[in-house]
Chain A
Amino acid sequence: MPVVTAVLALQIFLTGAASGSLGALLGLGGGVFLVPLLNLGFGFPFTVAAAISLTTVIATSSSVSAGRAGQQLINMKLGMLLEVATAAGSFLGGITAQLVAQSVLQKLFGFVAGFVAIVMLTRLQRRNVILDPNLDPGVLGGRFYEAESRGVVTYRVKRVPVAVVASFLAGNVSSLLGIGGGIIKVPILNAWCGIPLRAAAATSAFMIGVTATAGAIIYYGRGQLEPALAAAAVLGVQLGSWGGMRFGATAPAKWLKVLMAAVLFLVAGMMFMRGGR
């Protein structure tokens, strides 16, 4: 476990702020940037990096969802249903992470980072909204005010089993790799399950607090969570995502996505090389 000095704490704080603001700009949690920076940049063991990252995921989920509460963008019922799957996936992932070698985790991270980069470049944006506020959304659907349509829109949820399987995988990857897992759920919920992107993102952001907690508790119990480093990272990510959300109120520019996809391909390559040794 690394010794915490003022310089290290400041570096982690700034790293967290950078990851949080990039994450907020791109609609991600930021863990996908934080974990490789801590693991490859600072040389922390993978599990220590993942544990710190999961605490920042919980903090981001809580504060973002608190800010959105009352807008009806978060689909509480769908979220609770899918949490049954993410929490189970996350529980199993947290245990698995204790049993497999760091090189395996690094290779898996490389694979997921490459996947995230591809998703970012080809992101599907299906609107999925029905412009009739009186239509019955069903048990799991919802309705919310959408500025683009200047009114309340309705959506229905399709292919629930697909959403459940995607959530289980997202939970598993989340606690194995220290990321929120929204990057796996959101595109699938949007492209295949009939959920508008903003509602999918808000519901996912709401869910990942529970997902990350199921994993983080295991790392914490194992003594892999250094609380002073987690404190620096959590405070940095909070500041960063607050700044990123204020600055990035509009949709992120295309070049920013391309740049981040390039960074992620680089991360994927580095993780593969490190894990291959």
Chain B
Amino acid sequence: MNADRTDRADEAPRAQAMERAIGLVLRAGVLASSACLALGLAIALVAGEQGAALVLLHTGVILLLITPVARVIVSIGQFASAGDWTFMGLTIVVLVELMASAAAALVFNRRA
């Protein structure tokens, strides 16, 4: 019934596990993105900003932008599995706001 009170001893390890999972997502994202950006930049400087260089550079930027989005999605799952509906709801709102930014980006892109 009142799980949030009874298993306080449980609370800390669970919070730590949540943090570790999110840390893993962030580290993977930043490493993958940095690798693409470094390789893309190196090729761009040797062969010019075209072809493979551009693909790698844009992939790196998109991976960088997706990393925080991915950690928000992981948090939604974590709050859901903990049965914390209030925070799951708040996290979904954050995701919707990020989607609104992406939608605004598309609108501006068409106008530009």
Contact = CB atoms under 8 A, between A and B. Distances in A.
Classify the interface of chain A: helix, strand, loop or mixed.
helix
A58 interface: yes
A228 B23 contact: no
A223 B101 contact: no
Contact of A228 (B49, B64, B65): B49
B18 A76 contact: yes
A234 B61 CA distance: 10
A104 interface: no
Classify the interface of chain B: helix, strand, loop or mixed.
helix
Interface of B: 12, 15-16, 18-20, 22-24, 26-27, 29-30, 33-34, 37-38, 40-41, 44-45, 49, 53-54, 57-58, 60-61, 64-65, 67-69, 71-72, 75, 79, 87, 90-91, 93-94, 97-98, 100-102, 104-106, 108-109, 112
Question: Lowest 7 CB-CB distances: which A-B pairs, in order?
Answer: A221-B105, A69-B23, A231-B37, A227-B57, A66-B27, A87-B97, A209-B68
13 contacts: A59-B33, A62-B64, A69-B23, A72-B16, A81-B90, A213-B68, A215-B101, A216-B65, A222-B105, A228-B40, A228-B49, A230-B57, A234-B34
Interface string A57-81: 0110111011111111010110011
A160 to B, nearest CB: 12
B21 to A, nearest CB: 8
Contact of B108 (A72, A91, A222): A222
A91 B19 contact: no
Contacts of B60: 227, 231
Contacts of A222: 105, 108-109, 112
Nearest to A216: B65
Nearest to B12: A72
Residue among A6, A59, A98, A228 having the largest count of chain B Cβ atoms under 10 Å: A228
B31 to A, nearest CB: 9
B93 A84 contact: yes
Contacts of A230: 37, 57, 61
A225 to B, nearest CB: 7
Nearest to A88: B97
B34 A227 contact: no
Residue among A209, A217, A222 having the largest count of chain B Cβ atoms under 10 Å: A217
Q: How large is the interface on A (under 10, 10 to 19, 20 to 34, 35 or more residues)?
A: 35 or more
Contacts of A213: 65, 68-69, 98, 101
A69 B90 CA distance: 21
B97 to A, nearest CB: 4
Given A76-B18, A77-B87, A80-B75, A209 B105 contact: no
A248 B34 CA distance: 24
Contact of B101 (A94, A209, A231): A94
B104 A61 contact: no
A72 B100 CA distance: 31
Contacts of B33: 59, 234
Contact of B41 (A76, A87, A209, A228): A228
Given A84-B90, A220-B65, A227-B57, A235 B41 contact: yes
Contacts of A220: 61, 65, 105
Contacts of A204: none
Given A209-B68, A231-B37, A214 B98 contact: yes
A221 B38 contact: no
Interface string A221-255: 11101011011101100100000000000000000
A230 B20 CA distance: 28
